[in-house]
A and B are shown apart, each in its own frame.
Chain A
Amino acid sequence: MIALDKETFQQEVLEADGFVLVDYWSDGCEPCKALLPDIEALAEAYGDKVKFAKLNTTGARRLAISQKVLGLPTITLYKDGAKVAEVTKEEANKESIEKMIKDNAL
């Protein structure tokens, strides 16, 4: 998984061709940390179809808000730089993220 920051986000996500999945997380978000192993497992399984990336929103708050992300965890799927699907909070679990990938990117 690529670790994004506010310098690389534009290039790696918004200007990227194809599918990019962004895991928005932060230092204070325990549910985010609990979810990370599941996302890493999905990256193993679908990494050839979707580029997996994560953004620590601590220090990239404005960037997250510009993407209309104001709550964590949020997992967003982009295609050619545009948001195509998103799951957040209680909905953000391995099954729903996998479904989001299957429904949109496969």
Chain B
Amino acid sequence: MENVYDVVIIGAGPAGLSAALYAGRAKMKAVVLEGSKVGGQIAITSEVANYPGSIHDATGPTLTARMVEQADEFGAERVRDSAVSVDFSGKMKIITGEKATYQAKSVIIATGATPRIIGCPGEVELTGKGVSYCATCDADFFQDLEVFIVGGGDTAVEEAIYLTKFARKVTIVHRRDELRAAKSIQEMAFNNPKIEFMWNSVITEIKGDGIVESAVFHNRVTGEDTEIFAHEDDGTFGIFVFVGYDPVGKVFKGCVDMDETGYIVTDAQMKTNVEGVFAAGDIRVKTLRQVITAAADGAIAAVEAEKYIVHSFKE
């Protein structure tokens, strides 16, 4: 039979690539469906400074590249394919991709999460026209321009600091009156002369003809709405959005147990409610979604998948 694997790993971020590394080392026949891109969210992250060992040149892309190289070295296969539908009802799991169908003794779901949008008028139309979710992709368009960052978590504040290398002024727009980011990151932001803060505020509309020209800011305390226009000489400004994430698990809906927001429920061994199906990384219900926890999940899932196969597919 063609395309029969010990384990099919869906997703190629830190969780999927760690699972591939462990599966490869265990001599399992493994394939990673990497979708349209490898690396997951860190592939667009400017700095990954909180993963042990990742200290010099610790950008998301370089870390991703090393993870890919390591997984490849241990023989895990990677294909540019995405799961379109899955059938987990039989002992052999069937994953239908865009390009091929895969049969698997076990499955590791590592599809992760995707940046959430603000959801205000103009946002979708002006994405790539001043509205961005990827600082490493788009920062250099905003050389000497003004930039607004929406959000108050680690990612928002870290990317704000990164953007000060390019932008003339960076304003963090946060809906509360204090940041959620780690204290050390906050301190760096407060000490950065290019960073300003707009507290208790949200963006309710983004306007522009082809590119961002103005945005409406709503103060949640005073109830006041203020429209800010780009400086005449600039013509535009940037709006970078980092307001959390949504799980990427639509394909698995109804196939495995999820919480009400769509994250997959597992036990500490990464087992879902379906025998032989595991979940790892950001897609899972958990308290800390970081590279380090994703990598740990991936390792555990691969080891547990191997145990499951040895136990359930005895000759």
Contacts and interface: CB of A to CB of B under 8 A. Distances in A.
B61 A70 contact: no
A89 B125 CA distance: 11
Contacts of A64: 141
B301 to A, nearest CB: 24
A45 interface: no
A70 B137 contact: no
A13 B142 CA distance: 24
A28 B138 CA distance: 8
Contact of A69 (B39, B128, B235): B128
Contacts of A30: 37, 39, 43-44, 60-61, 64, 136-137
B54 interface: no
Contacts, number: 80
Interface residues of A, number: 23
Given A30-B37, A93-B36, A72 B137 contact: yes
Interface in B26-73: 36-39, 43-44, 60-61, 64
Interface in A56-78: 57-58, 61, 64-65, 68-74
A70 B130 CA distance: 5
Q: Which of A29, A65, A70 has the most CB of B within 10 A?
A: A70
Contacts of B139: 28
Interface string A36-61: 00000000000000000000011001
B185 interface: no
Interface string A71-97: 111100000000000001100010000
A20 interface: no
Given A71-B128, A89-B128, A93-B36, A32 B140 contact: no
Given A70-B211, A72-B137, A31 B43 contact: yes
B111 interface: no
B127 interface: yes
B129 A70 contact: yes
B37 to A, nearest CB: 4
A93 B235 CA distance: 29
Given A28-B140, A30-B64, A65-B211, A70 B38 contact: no
A85 B155 CA distance: 33
A92 to B, nearest CB: 8
Given A34-B37, A65-B236, A28 B136 contact: yes
A73 B133 CA distance: 12
Contact of B128 (A34, A88, A93): A88
A95 to B, nearest CB: 9
A1 B139 CA distance: 26
Interface of B: 36-39, 43-44, 60-61, 64, 127-134, 136-143, 210-212, 235-236, 238
Given A61-B140, A71-B141, A72-B128, 17 more contacts: A29-B138, A30-B44, A30-B61, A30-B64, A31-B137, A61-B141, A64-B141, A65-B211, A65-B236, A68-B129, A70-B132, A70-B142, A70-B211, A70-B212, A71-B128, A71-B138, A88-B128
Top 3 A-B pairs, shortest CB-CB distance: A71-B128, A88-B128, A34-B37
